[in-house]
């Protein structure tokens, strides 16, 4: 008679928990999205390297978040504070069957959050592509995702001081995206531009990505994953809540595409695919902070503005010689800031007060992250070094770090092998 004892609460808990698990799967796919987007936007000679980094980052992210990140981000104590730690590994005060918010198990809570954690480091990987030393990047990523991301995350989502101050960031325009973008900016400043990117005469050379279909797959996969990123951040399967978030998220992405389409055509007199792709991502980053607080029209405006920002931002960073092969700083840092501020303009508590708090919280997190990333990267620079040799950069990191080509020419290879026999 087990079934007869099922209550409506049990069924609701099961449905709520199920949605967060599915959202976890969707956020996982974002790592494939980043991997393909970044691989598509770099040169052919560095594609294996970026894929390798992305395969490792998800592993590093999950393991470090298990060992310390989760306990740093959700210490369960020190409400309103700057820092807390619940101890190594997982700790479930009420048993594994139920997490804080009562709509999912502790395991679900952990794995959903763990999928978020690695994204911050992945954002960095695109910006530093094509010239960073593999080992240095992996060490940086491990420290960044294990310590920096959870600490600033705790400030808001772990009931820390910014949460107490009224700062709002629904799914992480600042906590995930601007954090990743700020880390990227610090890393790029220390690393310098790719050889040949900026001429001595002030000229800027485009270094086009080697595989646009791959980059496009990446953007669609990221949008796909964003349904879980934003939708799962409702932290239950609440019908109105999740469905509204789906609507605002999609309309903002669409707005981003349209904004980037017209702006890039006006600026460059051509239909630049990479701008539209980054416009979509900019729209998604922009809506993330307030996806649960907007109506559809506000969401479209937020996305449109993000899409308009993207081409200007990409040009701006190029002008100041911040060489970011995939546009990660524009997408994640700039549109992350825009999205965070947009909560103060279009959100439930819109107004100058909220806008001020949003700006304040956003800058506090970016400042901490920038300094943290800068220090870690600087220590790596003066110890084991962070940049590959000029020779390795020229021939590509795939041969330099991996002894592999992304696209082996099989016909020749086969002929070679047959000749040996």
Do residues 317 and 309 lie in contact, with contact meaning Cβ atoms separated by under 8 Å? no
Least Cβ distance, residue 61 to its own copies (angstroms)? 8
Nearer to its own copies, 322 or 363 (CB): 322
Helix (H, G, I), strand (E, B) or coil at 387: strand
We find the least distance from the C-beta atom of residue 128 to its own copies, in angstroms, to be 16
| Contacts of 191 by beta carbon, 8 Å cutoff, 6+ apart | 128, 131, 132, 377, 386, 387
Which lies closer to its own copies via its Cβ, residue 352 or residue 419? 419
Q: How close are the terminal C-alpha atoms of the chain, in Å?
A: 70
Shortest spacing between CB 90 and its own copies, in angstroms: 7
Q: Please say which residue, 57 or 341, places its beta carbon nearer to its own copies.
A: 57
Cα separation, 69 vs 113, whole angstroms: 10
Structure tokens at 294: 């907007």
Residue 121 Cβ, how far from its own copies at the closest point, in Å? 14
Alpha-helix runs per DSSP H in 65-178: 70-73, 106-127, 134-143, 149-156, 161-164
Kindly tell me which of 280 and 309 has the beta carbon lying closer to its own copies.
280
Q: To the nearest whole angstrom, how small is the minimum distance from the Cβ of residue 114 to its own copies?
A: 7
Residue of 376, 375, 401 lying closest to 388 (CA atoms): 401
Identify which of residues 255 and 344 has a Cβ nearer to its own copies in the complex.
255
Shortest distance in whole angstroms from residue 8 CB to its own copies: 5
Q: How far is the CB of 211 from its own copies (least distance, A)?
A: 6
Region of residue 318 (left: phi > 0; alpha: psi -120 to 50; beta: else): alpha
Q: How far is the CB of 16 from its own copies (least distance, A)?
A: 7
**Alpha-carbon distances, residue 299 vs 100, 306, 333 (angstroms):** 30, 11, 19
Give the alpha-carbon dihedral of 17, 32, 137, 185, to 10 degrees: -90
SS3 for 295? coil
Residue 387, strand partner residues: 132
Phi, psi of 93, deg, nearest 5: -60, -35
* Rounded Cα–Cα distance for residues 70 and 85 (Å): 9
Residue 387 — φ and ψ, nearest 5°? -120, 140
Q: Which is nearer to its own copies, 110 or 317 (CB)?
A: 110
In the complex with its own copies, the residue whose CB is nearer, 101 or 353, is 101
Per-position DSSP letters for 28-77, written without gaps between them: HHHHHHHHHHHHHHS-GGGHHHHHHHHHHHHHHHHHHIIIIIHHHH--S-
**In angstroms, what is the minimal distance from the CB of 293 to its own copies?**
14
Please answer whether residues 24 and 115 qualify as being in contact, where contact means their C-beta atoms are separated by less than 8 angstroms: yes
Q: How far is the CB of 235 from its own copies (least distance, A)?
A: 14
Nearer to its own copies, 108 or 313 (CB): 108
Distance of CA 330 to the CA centre of its chain: 12
When the beta carbons of 32 and 178 are compared against its own copies, the nearer one is: 32
By C-beta, is 331 or 366 nearer to its own copies?
Answer: 331
């Amino acid at each position: 008679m087990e079934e007869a004892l099922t209550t409506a609460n049990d069924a609701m808990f099961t449905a709520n928990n199920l949605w967060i698990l599915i959202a976890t799967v969707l956020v996982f796919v974002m790592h494939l999205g980043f991997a393909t987007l970044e691989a598509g936007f770099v040169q052919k000679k560095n594609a294996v390297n970026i894929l390798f980094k992305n395969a490792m980052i998800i592993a590093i992210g999950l393991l470090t978040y298990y060992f310390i990140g989760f306990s740093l981000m959700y210490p369960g104590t020190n409400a309103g504070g700057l820092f807390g730690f619940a101890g190594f590994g997982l700790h479930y005060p009420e048993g594994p069957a139920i997490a804080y918010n009562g709509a999912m198990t502790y395991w679900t809570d952990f794995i959903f959050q763990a999928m978020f954690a690695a994204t911050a480091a992945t954002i960095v990987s695109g910006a530093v592509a094509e010239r960073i030393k593999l080992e240095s990047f992996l060490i940086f990523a491990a420290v960044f995702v294990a310590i920096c991301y959870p600490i600033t995350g705790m400030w808001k989502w772990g009931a820390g001081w910014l949460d107490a101050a009224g700062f709002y960031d629904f799914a992480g325009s600042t906590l995930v995206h601007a954090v990743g973008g700020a880390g990227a900016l610090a890393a790029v400043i220390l690393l310098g531009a790719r050889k040949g990117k900026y001429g001595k005469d002030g000229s800027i050379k485009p270094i086009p990505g080697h595989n646009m279909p791959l980059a496009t797959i990446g953007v669609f996969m990221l949008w796909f994953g964003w349904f879980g990123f934003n939708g799962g951040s409702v932290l239950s399967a609440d019908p109105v809540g999740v469905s509204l978030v789906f609507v605002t998220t999609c309309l903002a992405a669409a707005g981003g595409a349209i904004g980037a389409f017209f702006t890039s055509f006006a600026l460059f007199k051509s239909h630049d695919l990479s701008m539209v792709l980054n416009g979509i991502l900019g729209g998604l980053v922009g809506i993330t902070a307030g996806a649960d607080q907007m109506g559809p029209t506000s969401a479209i405006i937020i996305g449109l503005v993000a899409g308009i920002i993207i081409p200007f931002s990409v040009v701006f960073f190029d002008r100041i010689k911040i060489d970011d092969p995939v546009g990660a700083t524009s997408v994640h840092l700039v549109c992350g800031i825009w999205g965070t501020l947009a909560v103060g303009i279009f959100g439930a508590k819109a107004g100058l007060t909220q806008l001020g708090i949003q700006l304040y919280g956003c800058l506090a997190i970016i400042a901490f992250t920038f300094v943290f990333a800068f220090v870690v990267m600087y220590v790596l620079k003066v110890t084991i070094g962070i940049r590959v040799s000029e020779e390795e950069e020229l021939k590509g990191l795939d041969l330099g770090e991996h002894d592999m080509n992304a696209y082996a020419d099989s016909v020749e290879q086969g002929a070679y092998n047959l000749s040996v026999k």
